[in-house]
């Protein structure tokens, strides 16, 4: 009987004990204030959807003025497609090729000004893929998008007759928003 009384008293007191221990404030984290800036967090700039769409649209318009119908792809700094426009009368291959050209321009931006300069350095005229980096091709048409000197994405055109014309269309897209990239 005495054991039953002790158990009952313990069970009655237990919620009060646990509730008071739950109400205690948590200790401050090991790194207070939180880690920021030079302590581990990197601040970056990213291309917005609105800016990417303006670049793609301006590239399409520039190509049309030259008499070409192309596909324009704008990717963000992580290589993910941000904007995509496929003009009328373009081949299905232009979709993946424009994306690969943009990815090439982004990936190799620290060493080459455009996918065309990369293609020239590799003596590539037919857009042969770079076998050790998926999505990198040796053909002109891709241009990095820079903001204050930092690469925030890339744009590429596919479908104009010749990669050099595609590159002009891509650059025209960037030029159309140059005031927003300063």
Domain ranges of the chain: 2-39, 49-180
> From residue 177, how far is each of 61, 82, 132, 149, 155 by CA, in Å?
14, 16, 34, 15, 12
49-180 folds as Beta-Lactamase (3.30.450)
CA angle 156, 139, 148 (to 5 degrees): 45
- Sign (positive or negative) of CA dihedral 133, 135, 137, 139: negative
What mean pLDDT is reported for the chain? 84
| pTM metric for this prediction | 0.75
pLDDT computed for residue 33 by the predictor = 53
Q: Is 36 helix (H, G, I), strand (E, B) or coil?
A: coil
């Amino acid at each position: 009987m005495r054991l039953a009384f002790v158990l009952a008293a313990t069970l009655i007191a237990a919620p009060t004990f646990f509730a008071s221990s739950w109400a205690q404030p948590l200790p401050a984290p090991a790194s207070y204030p939180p880690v920021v800036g030079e302590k581990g967090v990197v601040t970056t700039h990213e291309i917005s959807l609105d800016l990417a769409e303006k670049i793609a649209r301006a590239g399409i318009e520039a190509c049309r003025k030259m008499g070409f119908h192309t596909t324009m792809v704008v990717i963000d700094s992580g290589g993910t497609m941000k904007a995509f426009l496929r003009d009328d009368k373009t081949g299905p291959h232009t979709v993946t090729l424009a994306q690969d050209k943009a990815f090439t321009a982004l990936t190799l931006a620290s060493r080459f000004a455009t996918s065309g300069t990369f293609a020239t350095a590799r003596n590539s005229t037919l857009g042969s893929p770079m076998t050790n980096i998926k999505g990198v091709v040796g053909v002109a048409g891709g241009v990095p998008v820079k903001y204050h000197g930092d690469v925030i994405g890339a744009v590429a055109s596919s479908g104009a007759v010749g990669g050099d014309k595609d590159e002009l269309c891509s650059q025209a897209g960037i030029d159309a928003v140059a005031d927003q990239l300063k």
